[in-house]
Amino acid sequence: MKQLPIKAVLFDLDDTLWPIVPVIMRAETVLHEWLLTHAPAVARGCSVDSLRVRRRELMAANPRFQVDLWALRHAALTEAFVAASEDAAKVDLAMVVFSQARNAVTPYEDVVPALQRLSSRVAIGSISNGFADLAAIGLAQHFKVSLAAHQLGSAKPDPAIFHAACDALEVAPGEAVYAGDDPSLDVEGAQRAGLRAVWINRFERTLPAHIRPDAVCTTLYDLEQWLSKRIILKSNIAIR
């Protein structure tokens, strides 16, 4: 069957456009330092590690938290504040502190130039299971649509979130490609929803044998080259 030209490119965010593990580790440290000053009883009773363990327990017990990571962190902090007899109204302030640090990411060097070129030629969107704020990060201008799991109540690899993004961009799934770093959530999930999928393998990982992406790229420059013969260009400027 002949494939349709690509009219939209959808991106995963964390570990596709920027490294996330060091950012989360730093954000959790920044939050704990804030707690030491503003909610010392919570800081004494909970470490970064113990809060992480509690979040895993809450996620396993409540399916809602699998699609709403902001609510998960808020719930774990609320428990800790109540247990320490601290003012739970401060939890919202704590989440602001964490979110600001969580959005202090540094995109990979290929991201901004590639997005600048691609956004002038094809509709660009993002789908994420996390709660990164593209406006705070400084990349929102490149994206026509940005969907997060907590907004929709569904998370990758559920086809619903991929279909919602396609609907928002007014393209059929067969006219879209999804680019992400996770073989299961991003590649397999997108393909099951009817999109093409490109695996962004920045870390020399091994692909599971049963997952077959439409392409494998190490950078967005590679993705641009793969797309050059498959997208409907909005201008006649060549992709370099």
- Which residue bears the tokens 């959530």? 185
What pLDDT, in 10s, does the model give residues 140-190? 999 999 999 999 999 999 999 999 999 999 999 999 999 999 999 999 999
The single-letter code of the amino acid at 207 is L
What pLDDT, in 10s, does the model give residues 106-150? 999 999 999 999 999 999 999 999 999 999 999 999 999 999 999
Residue 37 above 80 pLDDT? yes
For residue 123, the SS3 value is: strand
Beta-strand ranges (E) seen in 65-155 are 123-128, 145-148
What is the strand order of the sheet 215-217 is part of? 145-148, 123-128, 8-11, 176-180, 196-200, 215-217
Tokens of 186: 């991003």
Tokens of 143: 């994206």
Query: Which CATH superfamily includes the segment(s) 8-18+107-227?
Result: HAD superfamily/HAD-like (3.40.50.1000)
Beta-strand ranges (E) seen in 26-148 are 123-128, 145-148
Contacts of 123 (CB under 8 A, 6+ apart): 7, 8, 9, 144, 145, 169, 171
Average pLDDT over residues 9-25: 97
Distance of CA 203 to the CA centre of its chain: 17
For residue 78, the SS3 value is: helix
Contacts of 128 (CB under 8 A, 6+ apart): 12, 13, 14, 146, 147, 148, 149
Integer angstrom CA distances of residue 77 from 42, 195, 208: 9, 38, 36
Among candidate residues 97, 81, 90, 132, the one with its CA nearest the CA of residue 111: 132
pLDDT grade for 240, boundaries at 50, 70 and 90: very low
* Contact yes or no for 156/129 (Cβ under 8 A): yes
pLDDT grade for 22, boundaries at 50, 70 and 90: very high
Which of the listed CATH numbers 1.20.120.1600, 3.40.50.880, 2.60.40.10, 3.10.20.30 matches domain 21-102? Answer: 1.20.120.1600
Sequence ranges of the domains in the chain? 8-18+107-227, 21-102
- Please compute, for residue 131, the number of CA atoms within 13 A of its CA located in the half-sphere on the CB side: 21
Alpha carbon distance 50, 233 (integer Å): 50
- In this chain, the answer to whether the domains covering 8-18+107-227 and 21-102 adopt an identical fold is no
